[in-house]
Structures are given as C-alpha cells and as structure tokens.
Amino acid sequence: MSKIALIFGISGQDGAYLAKLLLGKGYKVHGTSRDAEMATFSSLNRLGIKSQIKFHSVALNDFRSTSKVLEEVSPDEIYNLAGQSSVGLSFEQPLETLESIANATINILEAIRFINCKCKFYNASSSECFGDTGKYPANEETPFRPKSPYGIAKASAYWQVANYRESYGLFACSGIMFNHESILRPTRFVTRKICQSAAKIALGKESLLKLGNLTIKRDWGWAPEYVEAMWQMLQGKEAEDYVIATGQIYGLNDFVKEAFSTFNLDWEKYVVIKDSLKRPSEIISGYGSPKKANTKLNWNAKTFMPEIAKIMAKEEFNLLKENNY
C-alpha cells in the first residue's frame, strides 16, 4: 500500500519540492493551507503537481483544527514546514513569527500524542538557531544563540520536538537546515532578489540593485537536494536530529558576483548599499558541518553556491522573457 504523507506548509519552496519527491516515490500526498480553497499554490503549479495533491484547510494555531486533519488523513509521515519564513520580516512581526512556528509545532505534537497517531514527524528547524557560527561550522552539538525572532521561534520548536521524543517516545526529529535556495523562493529573500535584479538589468529593465550588508557569509545549498534529507530522516529506525548543510561558506558579495557574471555584468557597477535594508541584528557568518548526515543518512550536497547563483539567474531571465517583462 502507498504511504500517506501530510505536509504542513506545502505551498512554500520546500513544501513544493518535497511533495514532488514524495509523489515520485509513490506516496499519497496531502497538504494544508489556512484556506485551501482560496490559496493559489503557485509553486505546486510551477512544478506541475497541484492536481495530484489532496488539500485541507487547517489553522495550526488551533488544536482542534490540527487534530482533526490528523484523524482525517491518518498519515504515515508528517512534515512540518509551516510558519512565517522570513528572518527580516520576523523583526517586524515577532509575535506572529513565534505563534506561527512555536505554537504551531506544539499543536502538531500534542495532536499526534492526543490521538495516538502512529506516524513519524519531521520538523523544519533552522541554522538561525545557532546565530553566528564564527570560524567553525556548526554541528548537532553546537549551542544555540539565535539573533532574531525567527531564530528564537525555531529554537523553541526544536526543543519542543526533542522533549516530546524523550518524554512520550514519539518518532519526532528536526532537520537543522542551513540556507537552501531555488527559483521558488519568494522575492523578499535576498538570493532571489539578487538573481531577479541581475536578469532585469541584463534585459535593460532595471539599472540598480539595492542591498544591505554585503559582508555576511552563508552556507548556501540547493533546495531540491535538501528535501531529500528530510525524507531520509524519517526512513530510519530511530529519530535523530541532523544538521543539513554543504559545509562550504561564501560571502553575499560572492553570490552577487556569480549571479551578475551569468550575464557578463560587473556587479560593482550596479549595486548600491542602503543602510535602511540592514537588519537590527545580523548573523555575520553561518555555516554548518553535514558530517553526521553524510555518514548516517548517506546524504551529500551536490550543488554549491556558484552553480546555484547561475542556475537561479538563468531561470529568472527565462521567466521574465516568458512573461514578456
């Protein structure tokens, strides 16, 4: 019989790629949105898989709504990818960020326990929990020192998952994901903004790209590969938490350079630094060690930042031309 997967947050980048992966493995895939009848699910449409998914309207801040969908679907695997996903926006909406991540996670865990759901649970955690990693890559033993409301919310959800695993014996684990990109990122994310602007400048539709802090360094991976790690984490006999990263670090200026070089453009001629775009608190350096995932999951990143920036820039260019921008 086909396994049944329930994806909270299916409309986002990771939810869409994960749904495609699971469908390819023969799963029956269910996904949620606050209002499934009104949601466009544009990422699922872009991947051509929307018609293959069963949708449910769920408010994750409401326990009854959450437990109801679990009883109705009776999933073998649950993936929690929901919640406010922007670090920058979390400074403007700290309470909504905390509620959509931490409160939602506790509701799902309680619903699993309350209805005695015999399922495996994956929680999307974040490298933002670590804060600055400094000179050394973070691993599963690195202490959390979050520097944003988003990171604080993700850290809270991480410890909730660990507590339910240890207290109630749930198969519940967290993937501590470092940055992972694709064309399905919302345009408010800086990587998508950079690639879109490079493509627009190449087409003669824009002349400048405004950015904040170019000195930050990140570990950037490719989103379709990262959802494979999520799935692999639920295939083992024991629930464990994993850092998912490439193990390579690059500056944001390197990302900009690669995106613009796709079109033989000198990025320094087009980029303007605006202090208003800088965050109140910023992680200067963030990268991770995927050694545990390499060894125990046999998962390895295959696509790294220079190629990612060029892929995204080319896809932005083609998308703009398709839409006669």
Which segment of 43-52, 72-81, 108-117, 279-288 scores lowest on mean pLDDT? Answer: 279-288
> Taking 90 as the threshold, does the pLDDT of residue 278 lie above it?
no
Residue 67, CB half-sphere, CA atoms under 13 Å: how many?
Answer: 13
Which one is catalytic: 33, 100, 126, 197? 126
How much is the pLDDT for 23?
A: 98
User: Rounded to an integer, what distance in angstroms lies between the CA atom of residue 166 and that of residue 318?
Assistant: 49
The pLDDT of residue 86: 86
Annotated catalytic, 126?
A: yes
In terms of C-beta density within 10 A (0-12 exposed, 13-18 middle, 19 or more buried), how is residue 89 classed? middle
Architecture of domain 4-180+222-244: 3-Layer(aba) Sandwich (3.40)
**24 confidence band (pLDDT: 50, 70, 90):** very high
Of the chain, the percentage scoring pLDDT greater than 90 comes to 87
Q: What percent of the chain has pLDDT over 70?
A: 100
Among 17, 79, 122, 150, the one annotated catalytic: 150
Judge whether residue 105 has pLDDT over 80. Answer: yes
166 tagged catalytic: no
- Structure-model confidence comparison of residues 214 and 275, the more confident one: 214
Catalytic residue among 128, 181, 225, 316: 128
Q: Catalytic residue at 285?
A: no
Query: Same topology for domains 4-180+222-244 and 186-218+249-287+303-322, yes or no?
Result: no
**Domain boundaries along the sequence of the chain:** 4-180+222-244, 186-218+249-287+303-322
| CATH class of the region 186-218+249-287+303-322 | alpha beta
Indicate if the pLDDT at residue 277 is higher than 90. no
Categorize the per-residue pLDDT at 80 as very low, low, confident or very high, splitting at 50, 70 and 90.
very high
Task: Determine the pLDDT at residue 325.
Answer: 67
Cα dihedral sign for 59, 71, 21, 124? positive
Cα angle: 17, vertex 251, 283; to 5 degrees = 80
Higher pLDDT pick, 131 / 279: 131
